[in-house]
Structure 1
Amino acid sequence: MHDEPSSFVIKESWPVPGEGTFTSILKKRAETDPEHPFLVWDGGRLTIGELHEASNRMANALLALGLRKGDVVGLMLDQHAEHVITLYALAKIGLVRTSINVHSKGDYLSLLIGDAQPRAIIAETAYRELLETAMDKTPVEFAIWNETEQGSGTHRLQDLLRNGDPALPSELADPDDVLVINYTSGTTGAPKKFTRSDRVLQIGCIGCLLIGEMEPNDVLLFWEPLYHGAGSQTVLAACMEKVTLAMVPRFSASQFWDQARRTGTTKTHYIGGILPILLKQPARPDDKVHKVSVAWGAGCPADVLAEFEERFGCRVNEGYGLSEVANYVCINIGGPKGSVGRPLPWFMVRTIDGEGNDVPPGQAGEIIAKGKRPEFTSRSLNKQKTTTADGWIKTGDLGRFDENGYLFFEGRKSDSLRRRGENVSAWEVERIVVQHPAVEECALIGVPSGLGAGDDDLKIFLKLVPSASLEELELIKWCEDKMPYFQIPRYIGFIDEFPKTPTQRVKKAELSRSTSDCWDLEQSGYALRR
């Protein structure tokens, strides 16, 4: 077992997780440095003092509506300052946020709303029709829309921001109050559902500050969607250090470095296949002309890491984590290249064999992790076979420790899928596709995307109903109305019979990973709607 950190320097100026809350952290920042630019974007800026006051106004307005600590609030908002203010407003008064991917629709959206059971929804009017369809099945008491004109019988986000009391709310979250419900896609069943407390979110944020080597006056190129765990965590981490988030609408490989130069970016984050995608851009004479000193994230192969550092002239700090704990559990700062680092001070990490025994250094085993105290980790809201009797989380990933306690990621043991930074549940996709009248049975697997370890393209196998026929593009268009674009398979293959276990489970390991024996969406020329 490896539970001792390497020489991580946790600054005295950073909060000790649990000694305060995000409310007290933001309040202190607003009192000592109110004019510091917290968030900047094309045409605007939000200071730390303005963020504190605006989130107070909104928090008090939500309390005035009748919402109370512990109520669930679903967010389906785009990338803008009001979304950031909303995140802090909910955190201040202990409203439990569940962020909804803005590409959600159809059965997927209904399933999420039905499970989360939010008392309120805060969303863009662009998603109103989709949400109201979902809310027909799961009634929601308060719907708050981001709209410029007053609608009949509706609440407006702008009114909450304008009319709420600017004073600190009288009802505030405590360190171990739940602030977030996260869903992380299951591999063979329904999505896994976890809560995170204020304390756990703080631990995750300090992990970000450490792996990013954050210093006062750093500027972070902020491209991550705010509905994504990495995006919301970065926003919360930014109030713990005197940094500025330079927000752009979305990730753009062609504009990335120009955006970094224009905003004076000094640090940036990556997920999934971002670094390989940037490396595929045409080389430019000014590839090293920027201020970025560190890129931090996870899922970067060692050869890609070395090529990226050489071409763009910045360090890459790799880490390893999982939603079920507190995101990062290991980080690598100055350790051997290719390693995901050593455990952070709050966690224990082991590698075990099939019998649950620890494996020796140099030998691969399944990675399991655990907080040193129960309040240091997320709490599962559904029964998972991936948690041992004594609380260890079985990740389904393979890894090996070297003699110095550095962990090296060795691939997946489980059937989990990850596509361009988004977790994909095979079960979620399969349960929708099998509803097509021509499909009798289906199975989804991941195949190499060419973007490095930890990034998959999706291949689905279809067994059709006897005498039925189905064109591949017909299925794709059918899926577009029922699931977000990132769940739609790229490859489609047909099969007469699936290999099965004696208990009739599909033996996915025996399905072909080849991409030359099936239909390819990208080669079809069809552009998915988003």
Structure 2
Amino acid sequence: MSELPEPRFLDDRLSHWAHTTPDGEAVLYLDRTWTWAQWDERIRRLAGALTAFGVRRGDAVAFLDKNHPACVESTFAAARLGAANAVVNFRLAGDELDYVLNDSGAKVLIVGRELRPAIDRIRDRLTHVEHVVEVTPDGADGDEYEALLAGAAPTGRGADVTPDDVCVIMYSSGTTGRPKGVELTQANLIAHTVNAHEGWGFDDGDKNMVSMPFFHVGGQSYVQFGIYDGVPSVVTREVDGASLADAILKGANRTFLVPAVLAKVLETGPDAVKLFGALKTFCYGASPMLLPLLRQALEAWPDTDFIQVYGLTEVCGVISHLMPEDHRDTDHPERLVSAGTLIPNAELRVSDPDTGDEMPVGRQGELWFRTPQLMKGYHNRPEATAESVTADGWFRTGDVGRIDADGYLFVEDRLKDMIISGGENVYSIEVERVLAEHPAVIEVAVIGVPDEKWGEAVKAVVAVNGSLSEAELTEWCRERLARYKCPRSIDIVDELPRNPTGKILKKELRKPFWEGRDRATV
């Protein structure tokens, strides 16, 4: 695709394929298929419907459902108006939904039928939402979204739209205990697609399996690759074995998934391993890959190109990658625990977290990145943006790592105490806030511990007043947090270890679980 000019607007490549290969497959989803011309028409109609709803440049719409092409359509339609699509995690609990939707300021909410009851329960608390549109997985009778498209007048890009307009707001857990909206512009997403695409691509006849949740930057950004190159995207609603197998049987042969999926496939047996051998490329990231699992996968699929990626929502996803040749380089096995090398147009600075001074090669420090992929800022949080982005454009990640003499990045710890479980970011302070609200809890610390399936699992260590069981605390969390944020184990102790100044020593709590373990951080 190198003969095509680099796009300026998010929809440039999609419009190109709609004009040059109008009848080619663009999207396959469940039992439905749309050509490039059909998909472009749907997006134009959605842009018209949003215009009729009063959505203008600088506004936001929101999407809440499991994976559905309508989410991608919402992003492109909003972008054509200079508006943003706030993609909401469908696993959030009621209070969390309330907060995110109100913070986004979305005027229009598109919600999946099975999640509609959760919205109905909090509808009176959604102060900005003027219109709620229900969408079904299969376009069944009564699908309000399909009816909306059918009755809308198609519209093109607004004359006042610029590449620097925010087109996606991705919510991630915040260190203050509340999610933060990461504002990504059209220019950000395009830069990510071009840069993170370096070193691999699609061949004629390829199909791209898109299975990462769209509320995750891994799903929202990865879907852009197929669109950029004009190859069909096979979108799965779930990330279960049956859905992934169905996508592969439909011809999908390149994908991006979290390491936990690899573990599940290997556990399932030889038939599943053989089926997944059809994948030319398996890109993985978003959570730690344990070395034994990685070595097992490399042996099971000798003809598959493995690509590991490290990144953050604030840089649209990928900022470094470990390429296929590094995975099978017997001369440098130590690189399997690295996060690879920087993608193009990215700068790295390893800095002293206290002084900001640059650290020499081989020394640990906080990882700072500068890239055109860097977010516009945190939605409604200028102070948080200023804390994370320096005046000269460096993003302070809160991750601790080092770089070796050959330019390989090793991510070794996290200043922010973030736990990555199955590709989901869980901030310990968010879980601690909920546990601390229990009247019997005196003090609490939440840490990540190794988990063979999910990479890391959430663990809480609490001191309590009186008699309180692990089951009672677990239920307390489940009523107030999304299930994936809830501790998988809770230790009740007499007191937590502290340093002389009274700070809880999380390092000491983690030590018995992580000591002696090799871990590839991704």
Instruction: Identify if the C-alpha distance between structure 1 residues 512 and 112 changes in structure 2 by more than 3 Å, giving closer, same or farther.
Output: same
Asked whether the 8 Å contact 1:121–1:140 carries over to 2, the reply is no
1:492 aligns with 2:490: yes
1:279 aligns with 2:272: no
Aligned to 1:113: 101
Comparing both structures, which one devotes a greater share of its residues to helix? Answer: 2
1:408 to 389, 407, 410: 410
Asked whether the 8 Å contact 1:222–1:248 carries over to 2, the reply is yes
1:183 aligns with 2:171: yes
Please state whether the residue corresponding to 1:273 is helix, strand or coil: helix
1:12 aligns with 2:2: yes
Asked whether the 8 Å contact 1:447–1:458 carries over to 2, the reply is yes
Q: Which amino acid aligns with 1:380?
A: Y
Q: Alpha-carbon deviation of 1:104?
A: 1.2
Asked whether the 8 Å contact 1:125–1:145 carries over to 2, the reply is no
Please state whether the residue corresponding to 2:2 is helix, strand or coil: coil
Please state whether the residue corresponding to 2:50 is helix, strand or coil: helix
1:509 to 503, 507, 510: 507
Instruction: Identify if the C-alpha distance between structure 1 residues 431 and 286 changes in structure 2 by more than 3 Å, giving closer, same or farther.
Output: closer
Q: Alpha-carbon deviation of 1:211?
A: 5.7
Aligned to 2:313: 323
What percentage of residue pairs aligned between the two structures are identical? Answer: 27
Aligned to 1:398: 400
Asked whether the 8 Å contact 1:96–1:181 carries over to 2, the reply is yes
Instruction: Identify if the C-alpha distance between structure 1 residues 143 and 426 changes in structure 2 by more than 3 Å, giving closer, same or farther.
Output: farther
1:437 aligns with 2:435: no
Aligned to 2:463: 463
Q: Alpha-carbon deviation of 1:515?
A: 7.1
Q: Alpha-carbon deviation of 1:408?
A: 3.1
Q: Return the alpha-carbon distance in structure 2 between the equivalents of residues 121 and 184 of structure 1.
A: 19
Pairwise mapping of residues 5-84 of structure 1 onto structure 2 (< 5 A)? 12-13=2-3, 15-16=5-6, 19-84=7-72
Q: Return the alpha-carbon distance in structure 2 between the equivalents of residues 332 and 162 of structure 1.
A: 45
Q: Return the alpha-carbon distance in structure 2 between the equivalents of residues 155 and 144 of structure 1.
A: 12
Segment drifting more, 426-435 vs 333-342: 333-342
Instruction: Specify every segment of 5 or more residues in structure 2 that has no aligned partner in the other structure, as ranges.
Output: 137-141, 328-335, 515-522
Q: Which amino acid aligns with 2:351?
A: I
Q: Return the alpha-carbon distance in structure 2 between the equivalents of residues 499 and 408 of structure 1.
A: 29
Please state whether the residue corresponding to 1:70 is helix, strand or coil: coil
Q: Which amino acid aligns with 2:262?
A: L
Instruction: Identify if the C-alpha distance between structure 1 residues 100 and 413 changes in structure 2 by more than 3 Å, giving closer, same or farther.
Output: same
Number of matched pairs: 492
Please state whether the residue corresponding to 1:126 is helix, strand or coil: helix
Asked whether the 8 Å contact 1:459–1:489 carries over to 2, the reply is yes
Aligned to 1:524: none
Note the alpha carbon deviations across 1:173-224, whole angstroms, 9 max, x for none.
Answer: 3211011122232346543432110000112222443365333432122222
Instruction: Identify if the C-alpha distance between structure 1 residues 137 and 42 changes in structure 2 by more than 3 Å, giving closer, same or farther.
Output: closer
Asked whether the 8 Å contact 2:47–2:154 carries over to 1, the reply is no
Asked whether the 8 Å contact 1:55–1:85 carries over to 2, the reply is yes
Aligned to 2:448: 446
Note the alpha carbon deviations across 1:239-268, whole angstroms, 9 max, x for none.
Answer: 211211122231224774x43541222211
Please state whether the residue corresponding to 2:315 is helix, strand or coil: coil
Q: Alpha-carbon deviation of 1:111?
A: 2.5
Instruction: Specify every segment of 5 or more residues in structure 1 that has no aligned partner in the other structure, as ranges.
Output: 1-10, 149-153, 517-530
2:475 to 477, 480, 486: 477
Q: Return the alpha-carbon distance in structure 1 between the equivalents of residues 374 and 458 of structure 2.
A: 34
RMSD over equivalenced CA pairs, Å: 3.0
1:332 to 301, 308, 322: 322
Q: Alpha-carbon deviation of 1:445?
A: 1.0
Q: Alpha-carbon deviation of 1:433?
A: 2.5
Pairwise mapping of residues 365-384 of structure 1 onto structure 2 (< 5 A)? 365-371=365-371, 376-381=374-379, 382=381, 383-384=383-384
Instruction: Identify if the C-alpha distance between structure 1 residues 240 and 279 changes in structure 2 by more than 3 Å, giving closer, same or farther.
Output: same
Instruction: Identify if the C-alpha distance between structure 1 residues 125 and 311 changes in structure 2 by more than 3 Å, giving closer, same or farther.
Output: closer
Please state whether the residue corresponding to 1:104 is helix, strand or coil: coil
Aligned to 1:527: none
Q: Return the alpha-carbon distance in structure 2 between the equivalents of residues 119 and 89 of structure 1.
A: 14
Q: Alpha-carbon deviation of 1:459?
A: 0.7
Pairwise mapping of residues 85-100 of structure 1 onto structure 2 (< 5 A)? 85-100=73-88
Q: Return the alpha-carbon distance in structure 2 between the equivalents of residues 408 and 512 of structure 1.
A: 20
Q: Alpha-carbon deviation of 1:458?
A: 0.7
Q: Return the alpha-carbon distance in structure 2 between the equivalents of residues 449 and 289 of structure 1.
A: 23
Pairwise mapping of residues 240-279 of structure 1 onto structure 2 (< 5 A)? 240-253=228-241, 256=244, 258-259=245-246, 261-279=248-266
Q: Alpha-carbon deviation of 1:162?
A: 0.8
Asked whether the 8 Å contact 2:27–2:234 carries over to 1, the reply is yes
TM-score by length of 2: 0.85
Q: Which amino acid aligns with 1:83?
A: C
Q: Return the alpha-carbon distance in structure 2 between the equivalents of residues 117 and 502 of structure 1.
A: 45
Note the alpha carbon deviations across 1:75-95, whole angstroms, 9 max, x for none.
Answer: 112333333322322222122
Q: Return the alpha-carbon distance in structure 1 between the equivalents of residues 395 and 420 of structure 2.
A: 19
Q: Return the alpha-carbon distance in structure 2 between the equivalents of residues 348 and 289 of structure 1.
A: 35
Please state whether the residue corresponding to 2:161 is helix, strand or coil: coil
Note the alpha carbon deviations across 1:21-42, whole angstroms, 9 max, x for none.
Answer: 1233221110011111111133
Instruction: Identify if the C-alpha distance between structure 1 residues 289 and 486 changes in structure 2 by more than 3 Å, giving closer, same or farther.
Output: closer
Q: Return the alpha-carbon distance in structure 1 between the equivalents of residues 498 and 46 of structure 2.
A: 54
Q: Return the alpha-carbon distance in structure 2 between the equivalents of residues 305 and 52 of structure 1.
A: 39
Note the alpha carbon deviations across 1:79-138, whole angstroms, 9 max, x for none.
Answer: 333333223222221221111111112322222223223222211243233224444334
Q: Return the alpha-carbon distance in structure 1 between the equivalents of residues 376 and 312 of structure 2.
A: 10
Instruction: Identify if the C-alpha distance between structure 1 residues 502 and 289 changes in structure 2 by more than 3 Å, giving closer, same or farther.
Output: closer
Asked whether the 8 Å contact 2:182–2:375 carries over to 1, the reply is no
Q: Return the alpha-carbon distance in structure 1 between the equivalents of residues 347 and 196 of structure 2.
A: 18
Q: Return the alpha-carbon distance in structure 2 between the equivalents of residues 65 and 286 of structure 1.
A: 48
Asked whether the 8 Å contact 1:265–1:292 carries over to 2, the reply is yes
Q: Return the alpha-carbon distance in structure 2 between the equivalents of residues 178 and 261 of structure 1.
A: 34
Asked whether the 8 Å contact 1:272–1:419 carries over to 2, the reply is no
Aligned to 1:525: none
Asked whether the 8 Å contact 1:211–1:332 carries over to 2, the reply is no
Asked whether the 8 Å contact 1:188–1:426 carries over to 2, the reply is no
Pairwise mapping of residues 135-146 of structure 1 onto structure 2 (< 5 A)? 135-146=123-134
Q: Return the alpha-carbon distance in structure 1 between the equivalents of residues 445 and 99 of structure 2.
A: 20
Instruction: Identify if the C-alpha distance between structure 1 residues 171 and 482 changes in structure 2 by more than 3 Å, giving closer, same or farther.
Output: farther
Asked whether the 8 Å contact 1:219–1:264 carries over to 2, the reply is yes
Q: Alpha-carbon deviation of 1:417?
A: 0.8
Q: Return the alpha-carbon distance in structure 2 between the equivalents of residues 200 and 120 of structure 1.
A: 24
Q: Return the alpha-carbon distance in structure 1 between the equivalents of residues 94 and 441 of structure 2.
A: 19
